[in-house]
Structure 1
Amino acid sequence: MTSPSLRLRYAALSDVGRVRKDNQDSGYAGEHLLVIADGVGGAARGDIASSTAVQILRRLDDTPSDDLLEALAGAIHRAHDRIAELVEEDPELEGTSTTVTVALFDGNRIGVGHVGDSRGYLLRDGELSQLTKDHTFVQSLIDEGRITEEEARTHPHRNLILRAVDGVHETDPDLFLLELAPGDRILLCSDGASGVLDNARLADILGTGTVDYAVVELVRASLDAGSTDNITCVVADVVDAAAAAADAETAAAATTGPMLVGAAADQPRRAGASSKSFFRGHRSGDTGEMEPVPGTGEPVDPEELRYAPRAPRRFTWLRWVVGLLVLLGLLSFGSMAAYGWTQKQYYVAVSDSKVAIFRGIQADLPGLTLSRLHSTSRVTLESLPEYRAEQVRDGISADDLDDARRIVANINELARVCPTPSPSPSPSPSAEPTGKGDREPTRRPSGGASDEPTASPTDRSTAGASQAPEPSPSASPSPTLAPPDCVEATP
């Protein structure tokens, strides 16, 4: 490892703010380490999560190893595991989590680890640059080009974070290295400051005065800008190690030792002499632990809803099983109710080429028949007009059983009735012939007429009739329709 050529001159300050009743931020500043942790969870005690993370991470404040990023990743993971243990011991802490932004200094560069929406900034040669990227919903909108940075500050979901150290989800911190130079100024802050102060205002404050002045002014400016959150800032100057050894202010800072602020502090901030010294004599007055504004009218602390992917850790499988059973019960009840309704429905359709009444609905599901035959009429499809037969093939819905019977009766009236064959006529008897012996000859009066008998008119007609052919019976008409093209008439 290259021999250290730089040193840090640092200050840290945390304020509960003017609205919240407790401080869920934690901060730390030391010779090799700067940390900001913003607790999330509201009633789930985000202060415990943030202070736990800082207490784990502060162990890195020693001569760092060659691999800064590996050290940071391991410490963040240990903080994750410790929070999981606390939740396991006390289920009321379920849902707690914290952001983490940490800078580990090796004398020439810093390794940065970041999870959540606390931020890290670098002021170099008067230019301010943001080192970290927020893991928030609004940042995803910015990345997609849907909103601007300015719009994100007033977005209704601007506090919704997507990643945090929660003891449940695997930690996935952003990790990177940054080479430092004398004159650089580093700022780590919670969103209580970065959410209300834009880059221009941050650069203006950081570009003036000492690190002590900077942290005090950042807190005061955030309060004046209307911040409703806890505010925590850690500021560090990068100075030349050789020059710093002879600098009285740097020596004084070194005797102060590490600074632990916010929820991670062993005692309330107002009892600490170093915290008071940041405000006393400052032109803006003391902005120490102010009383929260009463009557905010918020029945639920929005901090409880801040961390989006928060999920229950305990008995997750049991909740899934209960939910699945409830869902299956609802589906079963709904299916039974639906099937019961179908069995109260009727329709008219075809069964074996005859008009029939069915109970149920004209649809089937795989493995389930939703209708059954109720009764069959004597009317065949072939006996109906084509338009009516087509309607029956498609199915005719009925309101109830009586309505279905009326439909069948109407269809019956349209059916063709088979014709009744006419009876064959009986043959008429022929006239009986009369013999000649039965006729008496009529003699003409004497006068020279012939003596041959002459038949009387009656005899001639009778004779003609006897010679006429006998009449034959006429053929009966044959029917042109027969079932199933027609319906036989009922007797």
Structure 2
Amino acid sequence: MTFRLRYAAISDVGRVRKDNQDSGYAGPWMLAVCDGVGGAVRGDLASSTAIGQLRKLDAKPNGEMRTAVAGALHRANDRIAELVDDDPSLSGTSTTATMALFDGERLTFGHVGDSRAYLFRGDAIRQLTKDHTFVQSLIDEGRITEEESRTHPHRNLILRAVDGVHDIDADLFDVELEPGDRVLLCSDGASGVLNDGRLADILSMGTPDYAAVELVRASLDAGTTDNVTCLVADVVGEDVELLDQTPLLVGAAADLKRRVVPTRPHLFRGHRSGDTGELEPVRAEIPDSLPYAIESDPVDPEEARYAPRPPRRYVVTRRVLAGVAVLGVVWMGGAAAYSWSQQQYYVGEHDGSVTIFRGLNADLPGVSLSRPYETTNVSLDRLSDYDASTVREGIDASSLADAKRAVDRLAANQSVDEGVSTSSTDQTDSTAGTGAPTETP
């Protein structure tokens, strides 16, 4: 069984901001909401540019839907990059993007940022998307609750956006539809002040037009300080007659002029044909009598909203160079350690004879840290048990001369007094005399 969408879209500048940086699009085959980020660097341009690319998908899909959605988001990202290249003053602008492509049976979603998508089925509402925000990471870690996130001082900080600089890291997923389902896509101007219960109450009533208007009205009454954009779509059978299937473009993307309403500055005049920002232009000075709280932070949250990340360019090259640098440090450290070890000596046993070793009196698995340096004719068999065990454990020496003196003491303690001769792997001179190591060819 295949379905159709009956939809409505509405966007309002809100009661605080002077510009609408939200953009929305609703058509027979696609829904999309973008919330511009950047304040002074034209978040409205970013959101409208993204919508301009995403709306090109509004046709019945004939291929892999996730590939199509991902491709549209990448094209939006590339287009924003081109705008910044042409006008560097736009550097820093970006937008969220939450979109859904419809094929008659299911919706395929693409999501970046903190705009949201919900599914209202029966009497229950379910949030389909997950916010890419700092406060969401705190919720995931159990450090704050969903309710506390609505008033957190960093609730505006998003971690992913379509910015023309970073690779798109979008969430892609499918939702199978049923007759009677109602889908909501909205900017955080609505989801930030209306909880799931309030959203469900509104979505349970009336037509998509009615629900969209009521969602915006409720958001304004709840004290949102942001722009508000809501798209509502009902899933209906093919036999249901749809009076109007005209695509709807709202918000910054619609670029509609706002009519001044001097006598009632907060009168809501939403209608189905476009942007609901038909309110009196917001004054620079905000009256103290407003019945809701306004952040006192002198920095516009929109300007500080997106957490900048360094461009992910030359990733492979940087990783290779980092690996080479690490290997270089390890090699230099190993060389220095080896050089130091070759200046250390101790007396030990080799083939039953007392031997001077060069290196450390220790071994690593599979690696020897020392080697015989001078072999003497002092046999362990002619030493006392104590001296023999000491030699087997290794007698540390502070220098080569100190090691030779230790050999002389052992030679003097032999049970049979004999001269001592040595063979050296590193020496060419020999030292004659009882107890002193000498070389043998």
* Deviation of 1:276 (Å): 5.8
Correspondence list, 1:56-67, <5 A = 56-67=53-64
Establish whether residue 294 from structure 1 lines up as the match of residue 284 from structure 2: yes
Query: What SS does the corresponding residue of 1:278 show, helix, strand or coil?
Result: coil
1:31 corresponds in structure 2 to: 28
2:3 corresponds in structure 1 to: 6
1:264 equivalent among 249, 253, 257: 253
**Letter of the 1:260 counterpart:** L
**Letter of the 1:288 counterpart:** E
* Deviation of 1:301 (Å): 1.9
Partner deviation per Cα, 1:230-275 (whole Å, 9 max, x = no partner) = 0000000000112x1xx3xx2x222xx000000001433659xxx9
Aligned pair in 2 of structure 1 residues 290, 203: CA closer, same or farther (>3 Å)?
farther
Query: What SS does the corresponding residue of 2:303 show, helix, strand or coil?
Result: helix
* Deviation of 1:205 (Å): 0.3
1:234 corresponds in structure 2 to: 231
- Give the fraction of aligned pairs with identical amino acids, expressed as a percent: 67
Aligned length: 295
**Letter of the 1:10 counterpart:** Y
Instruction: Decide whether the 8 Å contact of 2:108 with 2:172 is kept in 1.
Output: yes
Aligned pair in 2 of structure 1 residues 199, 191: CA closer, same or farther (>3 Å)?
same
Instruction: Decide whether the 8 Å contact of 2:66 with 2:108 is kept in 1.
Output: yes
1:309 corresponds in structure 2 to: 308
Correspondence list, 1:465-484, <5 A = none
Instruction: Decide whether the 8 Å contact of 2:167 with 2:312 is kept in 1.
Output: no
* Deviation of 1:279 (Å): 8.2
Aligned pair in 2 of structure 1 residues 134, 16: CA closer, same or farther (>3 Å)?
same
Instruction: Decide whether the 8 Å contact of 1:109 with 1:178 is kept in 2.
Output: yes
Establish whether residue 91 from structure 1 lines up as the match of residue 88 from structure 2: yes
Q: Hey, what's the Cα distance between the residues in 2 that align with 1:151 and 1:172?
A: 27
Aligned pair in 2 of structure 1 residues 270, 32: CA closer, same or farther (>3 Å)?
farther
**Letter of the 2:250 counterpart:** V
Q: Hey, what's the Cα distance between the residues in 2 that align with 1:152 and 1:193?
A: 14
1:77 corresponds in structure 2 to: 74
Query: What SS does the corresponding residue of 1:304 show, helix, strand or coil?
Result: coil
Task: Give the alignment's TM-score, normalised by structure 2.
Answer: 0.64
**Letter of the 1:102 counterpart:** M
Correspondence list, 1:132-147, <5 A = 132-147=129-144
Correspondence list, 1:346-361, <5 A = none
**Letter of the 2:20 counterpart:** N
Aligned pair in 2 of structure 1 residues 79, 287: CA closer, same or farther (>3 Å)?
closer
Partner deviation per Cα, 1:41-82 (whole Å, 9 max, x = no partner) = 001100010000000000000111231100000000000000
Instruction: Decide whether the 8 Å contact of 1:34 with 1:234 is kept in 2.
Output: yes
2:271 equivalent among 269, 278, 298: 278
Partner deviation per Cα, 1:101-133 (whole Å, 9 max, x = no partner) = 000000000100000000000000010000000
Q: Hey, what's the Cα distance between the residues in 2 that align with 1:128 and 1:62?
A: 28
Establish whether residue 152 from structure 1 lines up as the match of residue 149 from structure 2: yes
Q: Hey, what's the Cα distance between the residues in 1 that align with 2:200 and 2:73?
A: 29
1:189 corresponds in structure 2 to: 186
Query: What SS does the corresponding residue of 1:170 show, helix, strand or coil?
Result: coil
Q: Hey, what's the Cα distance between the residues in 1 that align with 2:29 and 2:106?
A: 10
Q: Hey, what's the Cα distance between the residues in 1 that align with 2:42 and 2:249?
A: 19
Partner deviation per Cα, 1:410-430 (whole Å, 9 max, x = no partner) = xxxxxxxxxxxxxxxxxxxxx
Instruction: Decide whether the 8 Å contact of 1:190 with 1:231 is kept in 2.
Output: yes
Query: What SS does the corresponding residue of 1:135 show, helix, strand or coil?
Result: coil
Query: What SS does the corresponding residue of 2:225 show, helix, strand or coil?
Result: coil
Instruction: Decide whether the 8 Å contact of 2:9 with 2:272 is kept in 1.
Output: no
Instruction: Decide whether the 8 Å contact of 1:99 with 1:115 is kept in 2.
Output: yes
Correspondence list, 1:362-401, <5 A = none
Q: CA RMSD in A?
A: 2.2
